[in-house]
Amino acid sequence: MLKETFEPRFTDTDALGHINNTRIPVWFEGARSPVFRIFTPDLDVHNWKLMLARYEVQFHGELFYGQPVEIRTWISRLGTSSFDVSQEVWQNGERGASGTTVMVHYDHQAGKSVPLSEELRAALSALSES
Amino acid sequence: MLKETFEPRFTDTDALGHINNTRIPVWFEGARSPVFRIFTPDLDVHNWKLMLARYEVQFHGELFYGQPVEIRTWISRLGTSSFDVSQEVWQNGERGASGTTVMVHYDHQAGKSVPLSEELRAALSALSES
Amino acid sequence: MLKETFEPRFTDTDALGHINNTRIPVWFEGARSPVFRIFTPDLDVHNWKLMLARYEVQFHGELFYGQPVEIRTWISRLGTSSFDVSQEVWQNGERGASGTTVMVHYDHQAGKSVPLSEELRAALSALSES
Amino acid sequence: MLKETFEPRFTDTDALGHINNTRIPVWFEGARSPVFRIFTPDLDVHNWKLMLARYEVQFHGELFYGQPVEIRTWISRLGTSSFDVSQEVWQNGERGASGTTVMVHYDHQAGKSVPLSEELRAALSALSES
């Protein structure tokens, strides 16, 4: 499991006084960078090999400005050419949000999905929940 | 069904040359304003009566800068105190993304959900898909 | 002078209950699209001819969610290869923010600025303050 | 001088392949949190004592996804009730952007500026450039 810790920014809040719901996919995308590096080690955007198919986010409690958050990230499913990334936001020992994103191994030039090689599967498997 | 049309902003794009996936929840939240007005007609944030429980977004095709997008919004489920808002992004006659958000009628001071009154149910029902 | 009117989104607010300061450059960039079209009529990002050199934003009063804002945009200076775009945010008859952005006519492949042709100067001059 | 280092997120990029200009005020606001803590040690948004009067940002070079950025922050001017925060973005040993933000010590309830106490002046002075 990957863990990333950072301080929310003031602009992440909204008028209800907590973190706005639309920030969670942004935080999750940021925390997926190590997953992206498995496919594109130098993160060169001209050599991108993934496509996002869908995501879902659940909100379990309020998240606030002023205390660090920890994003936990792991691979929760490995398909033929796609895989699921599960993620959680923790703050003060409580889980504030969780979600799953379906990523597809993709050839952007050919416009089609590409099966995950054994090498990629092994690297993704190393990012398990436990 | 509600329809909102606007031009994507340059900053909505990412290095893959299309609209970044994290912008869709932002567009969807913006397009839910008429739903928010059913609960808080003047949109006074100090009198807010809704909480977001979860959302999911599916990506069907690429969305681009340079052409207007239309957000379609309707109520797809009415529960006792919660309801679903279904939304789609259309551009150039194609559906680029869709999603559903679960909203809860909520008393932020008491910290608990509140059943939807007949008046609220009637107003939400008027925003059906057809 | 160009005028664009839209409703702020809930996520544009912050925990102080008003529009967050970092949203103004986003709104301004969105409202510069007609200026971008002078250089790239179809807004094709692969044929981009501008670079942003600097901007400044002044805050004159609070801006809120729940009421439309109007962005006013005009060209306030024409240089050899650069020009200034002045912009204001109005809400409820009051000016909440203003700013100026310096744009450079730029060849991204050659990595250097390009003098503004007479045709471009005429098109930009048409977007004057009055 | 304060230094904060983090990895840009994919969504910070735009279709030109680099970091979008509107992200810099967001990064700068995030990096000002230690300055905010001088006024509100627990960052409680209900006890906020600052107002943003203006900012300016200069772009010196392109910033990219895939390499960490360092934000440098220091106090460059101390007035009676206001002060300037100067900030820079560095990546790969080069300064990509710089800017200055004018903050005002402010009583949000009374709606007026408040002179900086000797204690606040001392704390701010400690965040000098050198």
pLDDT digits (tens, 9 = 90+) for A29-38: 999 999 999 9
Query: How much is the average pLDDT of D1-10?
Result: 97
Is the Cβ–Cβ distance between D18 and C48 less than 8 Å?
A: no
* Cα within 13 Å of Cα(A95), Cβ side: 10
CB contact under 8 A, C9 and B29: yes
B27 is a domain residue = yes
| A54: containing domain | 2-125
Q: What ranges make up the beta strands (E) of A1-130? A: 2-6, 50-59, 69-78, 82-91, 94-107, 112-113
Distance CA A55, CA A65 (A): 24
A130 is a domain residue = no
Burial of A124 by CB count in 10 Å (0-12 exposed, 13-18 middle, 19+ buried)?
Answer: buried
Per the structure block, which two tokens stand in for A99? 């979600």
Q: Please give the DSSP secondary-structure letter assigned to residue A8.
A: P
B54 has a chain A CB within 8 A of its CB: yes
Q: A9 to chain D: nearest residue by CA? A: D30
Sign of the torsion formed by the C-alpha atoms of D42, D44, D47 and D48: positive
**Predicted confidence (pLDDT) at residue A130 exceeds the cutoff of 80:** no
Per the structure block, which two tokens stand in for B118? 């007949």
Contacts of C18 (CB under 8 A, 6+ apart): A15, C62, C63, C64, C65
**Predicted confidence (pLDDT) at residue D76 exceeds the cutoff of 80:** yes
Is the Cβ–Cβ distance between C8 and C26 less than 8 Å?
A: no
For the stretch D16-53, pLDDT in tens is 999 999 999 999 999 999 999 999 999 999 999 999 99
CATH number of the domain bearing residue D27: 3.10.129.10
User: Which of B29, A15, A105 has its CA nearest to residue C17?
Assistant: A15
Question: What are residue A84's DSSP bridge partners?
Answer: A77, A102
Q: What is the pLDDT of residue A75?
A: 98
A112 has a chain B CB within 8 A of its CB: no
C130 is a domain residue = no
Is the Cβ–Cβ distance between A61 and A94 less than 8 Å?
A: yes
**Predicted confidence (pLDDT) at residue C128 exceeds the cutoff of 90:** no
For the stretch C92-125, pLDDT in tens is 999 999 999 999 999 999 999 999 999 999 999 9
Q: What is the pLDDT of residue D60?
A: 98
Query: How much is the average pLDDT of B71-83?
Result: 98
CB contact under 8 A, D33 and A11: no
| Chain D partners within 8 Å of B65 (Cβ) | 15
Q: What is the pLDDT of residue B128?
A: 87
For the question of whether the overall pTM of this predicted structure is more than 0.95, the answer is yes
CB contact under 8 A, B45 and C30: no
CB contact under 8 A, A11 and C14: yes
Contacts of B119 (CB under 8 A, 6+ apart): none
Number of domains in chain B: 1
Mean pLDDT of chain A: 97
